[in-house]
Amino acid sequence: MSDLLINDNGRLVRQDIISQTQGYNTSERYIPIPTQSVLDIIKEVEPDYKIVGFNNANVRKADKQSFQKHAMMIEFPNANLSDGTKMNLVLFNSSDRSMSLRIMAGAIRMVCNNGMIWADSIMQEERIRHTNKDWQHTIYDLMNNFEKSQIKAKETIEAMQNKYMSYSDENRFAERVAEELINPNITGSLIDPRQLTVAQRPEDTGKNLWHNFNKLQEYLSNGGLDRIIEKTEEDEDGQSSLITTISKTHKITNESKRIDLNKKLHTMAMEML
């Protein structure tokens, strides 16, 4: 398997996947967009980019190997924003018709363990179908607007840092996240939102919106929250009793789900500015 891997800036990247020029079980209208070709355009604009994350889906059929969905995070040396945060690109692609080319930009805080980015109207997500003959123009436009997007992202972070939050503000934010983003995704149990008001890291201790956003982001991604599970059981005499157990919420490993949750969290935060 090692012959399928290359080392790019210290990261293991599947060369066979990112350089794929054929489609798997596709029609004549299908025009594969190799991830490597996208990287070549990015390098023209930002030669010193780095691949800081790469994942690919597992496949069951041997002949589908090298065509599967994959995700890549790209970092730029001069894309510093504020508070140890950088502006990155996240790219999704496939050659098996399971996904169009998707590219989105967002900010990732280097102190965070969750690897989540946030993004809103600062830079719209680009989706390019594998039938688009002129897809290169979209990538050039995206990269040419990247610097402007950095400026807007930095202004957003500074606004969040200047937004003071009282204890009641923190509690309302935590309650909304629990009710709308966490509890609907865990069946048969609930979490107490008061857990979300306690910072896991010293860097997230503070009374502004930026610190609270990062605190909640970490819980959303890494899990570890106590979830209360209640169920009714009958004994031998037919008497019902309520049984309460506690388990932990799980870490989210699906990249699309992580980004979707993070977008929703960021939208909530923007409504508080």
Q: Which residues of 42-58 are buried (b: 16+ CB within 10 A; e: fewer)?
A: beeebeebbbbbbebee
Based on the domain organization, do 130 and 242 belong to the same domain? no
Q: How far apart are CA 190 and CA 207, in angstroms?
A: 27
Based on the domain organization, do 136 and 196 belong to the same domain? no
* Residue of 81, 74, 85, 12 whose CA lies nearest to 43: 74
- Cα(first)–Cα(last) distance of the chain, in Å? 50
Contacts of 252 (CB under 8 A, 6+ apart): 220, 221, 223, 258, 261
Instruction: Please report, in tens digits, the pLDDT of each residue of the chain (273 residues total).
Output: 233 444 455 558 899 999 999 999 888 889 999 999 999 999 999 999 999 888 888 888 888 999 999 999 899 988 888 888 888 898 999 999 889 999 988 888 876 766 666 655 555 688 999 998 899 999 999 999 888 888 888 899 999 999 999 999 999 999 999 999 988 877 667 888 999 999 988 889 999 999 999 999 999 888 888 888 877 777 777 777 767 788 888 888 877 788 888 889 999 999 998
Q: How far apart are CA 79 and CA 190, in angstroms?
A: 39
Q: How far apart are CA 43 and CA 47, in angstroms?
A: 4
β-bridge pairing 240-248 and 226-234 = antiparallel
Residue the block writes with tokens 């050659």? 95
List the domain range (segments joined by +) for residue 263. 167-270
Structure tokens at 110: 């280097």
* Residue of 51, 38, 56 whose CA lies nearest to 1: 56
Based on the domain organization, do 142 and 195 belong to the same domain? no
Based on the domain organization, do 43 and 124 belong to the same domain? yes
Q: Are 222 and 202 in contact (CB under 8 A)?
A: no
Based on the domain organization, do 103 and 181 belong to the same domain? no
Based on the domain organization, do 43 and 154 belong to the same domain? yes
Based on the domain organization, do 226 and 143 belong to the same domain? no
Of the residues 127, 159, 191, the one at which a domain ends: 159
* Residue of 259, 229, 210, 196 whose CA lies nearest to 53: 259
At 51, give phi and psi (nearest 5°).
-85, 115
Based on the domain organization, do 127 and 254 belong to the same domain? no
Total number of domains constituting the chain: 2
Based on the domain organization, do 144 and 176 belong to the same domain? no
Burial class (CB in 10 A: 0-12, 13-18, 19+), 21: exposed
Q: How far apart are CA 77 and CA 34, in angstroms?
A: 24
Based on the domain organization, do 38 and 111 belong to the same domain? yes
Structure tokens at 214: 């990062």
Based on the domain organization, do 104 and 37 belong to the same domain? yes
pTM over 0.75: yes
Of the residues 135, 159, 183, the one at which a domain ends: 159
Based on the domain organization, do 143 and 9 belong to the same domain? yes
Of the residues 104, 126, 159, the one at which a domain ends: 159
